[in-house]
Amino acid sequence: MSRHGLSEPSAWVRRFAPMIRPGGTVLDVACGSGRHARWLAQLGFEVDAVDREPALFVDPPRGVTLLGADLEAGPWPYAGRAYDAIVVTNYLHRPLLPILVEALEPGGVLVYETFAQGNERFGKPSNPAFLLAPGELLDAVRGRLRVIAYEDLSVEVPRPAAVQRLAARRG
């Protein structure tokens, strides 16, 4: 179970994983208990998983390298690295958005899904600092990545929430 009570990979991540170069490298940002890192490793990807609370990720499987790092207070721990895909779910630290775009290999895919304004009516997070403004993910990649899919909507599954989702490829 993750800190958000989820254990299955996000349907959004599952939908766009086939776009990742076979056998490629993936960065799972704010990985929590590792639901995406585990699943992606099972698919044959080499996964770097990072979270400020690495103890949440019990027994990382083969193919996953776990790093404990505070992405909000410390330096970017992957300077000079580039990935075939970067996955981010249920996490927002705006200063990382341009760093993530730059950390994609040519042809690399950014798969991002997190809470949006309007989520306060469903519960936490409700602090505007942790909620994307309308179109904010699109603005973060505009002119830098080719958007494959984008959604800004309310969902019922896995729990009621307002979310933005983006899948985009670096040219």
Per DSSP, the residues of 35-58 read: HHHHHHHHTT-EEEEEES-GGGS-
Whether 141 and 166 have beta carbons less than 8 Å apart is answered as: yes
Query: What is the per-residue pLDDT for 158?
Result: 87
Residue 87 token pair: 């996955």
Residue whose pair of structure tokens reads 């998983």 in the numeric block: 49
Relative to beta strand 64-68, strand 46-51 is parallel
Give the CATH class of 11-169: alpha beta
Cβ atoms of 137 and 150 closer than 8 Å: yes
Contacts of 136-145 with C-beta under 8 Å, sequence gap 24+, read 136/164, 137/112, 137/164, 137/165, 137/166, 138/166, 140/97, 140/98, 140/101, 141/97, 141/101, 141/110, 141/166, 141/168, 144/101, 144/170, 145/101, 145/104, 145/110, 145/169, 145/170, 145/171
Domain boundaries, the chain: 11-169
| Per-residue pLDDT of the chain in tens (171 residues, 90 and over written 9) | 444 445 899 999 999 999 999 999 999 999 999 999 999 999 999 999 999 999 999 999 999 999 999 999 989 999 999 999 999 999 999 999 999 999 999 999 999 999 999 999 999 999 999 999 999 999 999 999 999 999 999 999 889 999 999 999 999
Under 8 Å between Cβ of 151 and 165:
yes
Residue 80's alpha-carbon distances to 76, 83, 103, 131, in angstroms, are 10, 10, 8, 29
Residue 72, Cα to own-chain centre: how many angstroms?
Answer: 15
Tokens of 159: 């729990």
